[in-house]
Chains A and B, each alone.
Chain A
Amino acid sequence: MLLRMRNIHKVFGKVSVLNGVDLQLERGQLLGLVGENGAGKSTLMNILGGLFVPTEGTMTLDENLFAPTSPNEALQAGIAFVHQELNLFPNLSVMENLFISGFPKKRFLGLSLIDQKSAREKAKELLSIVGLNVSEKVKVGQLTAAQQQLLEITKILSRSPRIIIFDEPTTSLTRHEAEKLFQLIERLQSEGIGIIYISHNLEDVMSLADEIMVLRDGNCVRQENQNAFTLPKLIKDMVGRDLETYFPQRDVTPLREKCLEVSQVGAEVVHDVSFSIRKKEVLGLYGLVGAGRSEMARLLYGLDVMQKGTIHWNGQKIQQPSPEKWVQEGVAFLTENRREEGLMIQQSIARNIQLAGLPNYTTPLQTVRFRDLDSDVEQQARANKIKYNNLKDQSVATLSGGNQQKTVLAKWLMIAPKLLILDEPTKGIDIGARHDIYSLVNDLVKKGSSILLISSEIEELIGLCDRILVMGEGRIRDEFHKAAFDRSAILEAALHGKENQTLAT
């Protein structure tokens, strides 16, 4: 047994994140680790990677007791972590990135210089092992996402690891690139390296893994051979209940009337996208990362410059869309990255909630009617079930991810949006908060609003939407209506596309 984690507990403050998890990994084995966001996957891996010390529990590596206290120690022991965010410096060259933690040196006039020649040779050698075919002099910023990923793996391989943890390695890769990565992973396995593979793409996990471990709410639901799983079963294990009960019911049917019509919209990575949203409709948008979903939404919302195409809002053509105009029209956009684009993290909860709605609370003199505003903000905060101590003095940074997301949502609900664009609204949020958010969305639709829901989780889309569009390579590839929702068909469309099916090899 290469690695054994026994009865791992981890408590942060009063919150228990892991309650006695066991994990085993053999040499050359690939363990798929799945679970919802907040299930404890990253905490578990961070314990293995030496970032956290477990509150309780032991680990053994090759039957020796293993208790790393720092990432460095874990690295020394042969545990390598390929994070979703790569630890590369785009302003340095490939070779420099490979050796950033220790260059080969030579002495010259009393100065300790980098031995360029041997560094270059070593770099070439390492690159050829993983089959990364780029010059070692090129700046990393100029590589594609896939090449960067390979480089990160190269860096790790140069330290001869025994276990490699992959955290969502395919999110920024095209399908073709992902397939190549899988081949590399297989090769690593054959060299006896143990792999832990974390992904939301359950199909990938099913096809790659020898064993699969499902985490839910900090507990290990199951660790079994992958043969023992089927996709629906896996989902049920992850979510903890059937999808039907997980997503609250909504008895609203979309009206015929369209509120938003988009035609032939295009820019750098979005090509000729046309679609429309009806009033009281929840339209889902599915696609793999890099499919251009978020980019399309940003284009619509005027965050990037639209190079072609037209947008009609309630029959009116919108010239040069901008967030300012959209907010005035009652269109809201909850973006993917909450911290950077959704919140003012150091500011109070009240300031965050009131931001978008401010123009509705001004007098002709541009002064703010604070009394009305404050009471409405408080009402909204309560309606959104945000858990807070003090609305005006507590910064949102002190809230949990779920409550932060509810705060962003509250901000948008303050303008009573006619159309709400949600980009990955439940990323990194625990199940309870998810449920609250789903309910809020349903309530909004009941009141007459429309929703454009972008998500990487097919279950979420199936559970909430009236219609799902599938995007790939910047185009809309397929459309599914509620009656014809089919998980594998949607995924298939995202992976290969309707038109491309015959071309795909």
Chain B
Amino acid sequence: MKQIQHSGLQWVSNNSTLLLFAVAIALFGILSPAFLSFQNAFNILVQAAALGILATGMTFVLLTAGIDLSVGSIMFLAGVISGKMVVDGAPLWWAGLVVVVIGLEFGCLNALLIYRLKVIPFIVTLATFYVGRGLGLFISDTRAINLPESFLTLGSGKVLGIPLPVILLFFVITLAHLVLTRTTFGKHIYAVGHDPEKARKAGISVNRILLGVYVICGFCAALGGLVAIAQLGAVSPTFGLQSEFMAIAAAILGGVSLFGGRGNVFPGTLIGVLLIQTIQNGLVMVNADPYLYPLITAAVIFLVVGIDSLQNQRREKAKRLGLK
């Protein structure tokens, strides 16, 4: 009997995010019937698209025990440059391409500094965070850029009745899931994240893996930025601020470890993203004080991280004692 109770408790703490997600849905559903509408479910997905894409990229980096603080700046810089281009009459696809290239370049820069010069990811990406945002502000002259109609249609467009951002989100998540579970590269990411030294011994080129994950993260940041501005219709100087933290939080909520090697994009990170977005949306639906949003979101993250840390302590001890 005791054994069953114990494992039940374990299940709860192992799936704290999923549970919170269910609780959140039930709670908001009771408080506001409109919350449970089909339309609102789509709303949540649309609003989650940008963060979801961002967090997917972040998951790759976190899996190697790295961190990328520069994603918000990449979003911003990509938004500013593409916005300027479109305003100046460049075609949309050309701007989109430039956005992607910026994301890739920033990812390369991060990765090169990390593995060539052996500076820790935190400092490297903190620096590129400031350089990127500074550059963006320099180019935009700190002005907001209002985008033409064509951008907005990208954000609100639908294919077969499904909003474009949602399609993009699911495409990115499916691809990421495939890469992580079905390719050598994906398996090597987990290996490097667990122990780079062991990975090297197993004949894995750690540098190539690092390059790969930061490039993917940069790419996702740019893409996420594109999705976000296509919904906003404008790039303000505060665009993307703190996005990196939300992306990290979403991934951590989804069970990704800051210390590498543990976690997945699907269902992990996706659930984390949906939890955050559901809370945000639900608070709106029940007409909560908007100033409470960050408080509640932060409290939820704190809770999940706390539970995970206790879990982790237990795992470590079990590992040391050779138990399962």
Contacts and interface: CB of A to CB of B under 8 A. Distances in A.
A400 interface: no
Contacts of B324: 142, 144
A96 B191 CA distance: 10
B184 interface: yes
A319 B184 CA distance: 53
Interface in A45-104: 71-72, 87-92, 96, 100-103
A269 interface: yes
A90 B194 contact: yes
A141 B188 contact: no
Interface in A243-284: 268-269
Contacts of A116: 182
A interface, how many residues as a size bin?
Answer: 20 to 34
A114 B187 contact: yes
B221 to A, nearest CB: 22
B239 interface: no
Given A87-B201, A111-B178, A116-B182, A268 B187 contact: no
A145 interface: yes
Interface residues of B, number: 25
Given A89-B195, A114-B187, A295 B321 contact: yes
B187 A105 contact: no
B190 A91 contact: yes
A290 B202 contact: no
A145 B323 CA distance: 10
A72 B205 CA distance: 13
A383 interface: no
B257 to A, nearest CB: 9
A304 interface: yes
A226 interface: no
Contact of A113 (B183, B190, B198, B204): B183
A185 B202 CA distance: 23
Contact of B322 (A100, A103, A114, A269): A269
Main secondary structure, interface of B, reads helix
Contacts of A72: 203
Interface in B191-215: 191, 193-195, 198-199, 201-204
Nearest to B317: A304
A91 B188 CA distance: 11
A367 interface: no
Contacts of A90: 194, 319
B66 interface: no
Nearest to A115: B182
Nearest to A172: B322
Contact of B194 (A91, A142, A269): A91
A91 B322 contact: no
A136 B193 CA distance: 21
Contacts of A96: 187, 190
A113 B178 contact: yes
A103 B322 CA distance: 29
Contacts of B198: 87-89
Contacts of B319: 90, 141
A114 B184 contact: yes
Contact of B188 (A100, A172, A269): A100
A491 to B, nearest CB: 22
Nearest to B318: A268
B191 A100 contact: yes
**A-B CB proximity, top 9 nearest:** A101-B203, A91-B261, A113-B182, A89-B194, A103-B184, A89-B191, A91-B194, A100-B202, A96-B187
Interface of B: 178, 182-184, 187-188, 190-191, 193-195, 198-199, 201-204, 261-262, 317, 319, 321-324
